[in-house]
């Protein structure tokens, strides 16, 4: 069986509001930056690999010039927004030890991918994977699932996909992949057993 993992909120914690709350105390500032940055078209364009962090920051600052300093601060250490979810990561060796293959399929920006690949050594356990920025396609587009399947010659019915977003799980299932809406590492453990 092939176990396919999303990154955000499955392998790494990704909570923009929580991240912003650690930087700023004013609720209005937090809400505005969240809307301008994390809920923007440019955020998705970064995931698609169409623009860089540097380019996106200029878009964000132009859109909300009154928050330019705060936006630049939020991006100064943008990789701090992700941290490992050890409960899930600790299960990866067990998945491998039981003879299963590991893959990742994640919407991710180039700068964040580079950071993860360099600093999160558990990625070495994976047999392969696809980051959206590398192929300019994001979930839940059907093409991204097909790209992973074709790249590694996988049989969809022999794949289990863990993602925290229902639309991504549904899209995987339309491609013949067993989709699991991820809540905790117990979801992985259940299918492992």
The hierarchical CATH code for the domain 2-13+82-192 is 3.40.50.1000
pTM (two decimals): 0.93
What distance lies between CA 135 and its chain's CA centroid? Answer: 14
120-138 pLDDT, tens digit each = 999 999 999 999 999 999 9
Interval 60-79: pLDDT, tens: 999 999 999 999 999 888 88
* Domain parsing of the chain, residue ranges: 2-13+82-192, 15-80
From the number of C-beta atoms within 10 Å of its C-beta (0-12, 13-18, 19+), residue 124 rates as exposed
What digits encode the pLDDT tens for the residues 85-107?
999 999 999 999 999 999 999 99
């Amino acid at each position: 069986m092939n176990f396919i993992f999303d990154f955000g909120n499955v392998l790494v914690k990704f909570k923009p509001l929580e991240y912003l709350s650690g930087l700023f105390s004013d609720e209005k500032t937090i809400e505005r930056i969240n809307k301008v940055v994390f809920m923007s078209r440019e955020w998705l364009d970064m995931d698609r690999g169409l623009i860089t962090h540097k380019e996106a920051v200029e878009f964000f600052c132009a859109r909300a010039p009154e928050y330019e300093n705060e936006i630049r601060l939020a991006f100064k250490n943008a990789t701090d927004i992700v941290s490992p979810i050890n409960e899930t990561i600790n299960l990866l060796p067990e998945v491998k030890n039981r003879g299963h293959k590991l893959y990742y399929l994640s919407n991710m920006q180039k700068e964040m991918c580079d950071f993860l690949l360099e600093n999160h050594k558990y990625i070495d356990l994976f047999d392969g994977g696809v980051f959206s920025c590398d192929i300019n396609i994001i979930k839940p587009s059907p093409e991204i699932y097909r790209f992973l399947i074709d790249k590694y010659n996988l049989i969809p019915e022999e794949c289990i996909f863990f993602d925290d977003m229902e639309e991504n799980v549904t899209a995987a299932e339309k491609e013949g992949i067993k989709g699991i809406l991820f809540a905790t590492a117990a979801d992985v453990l259940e299918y492992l057993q």
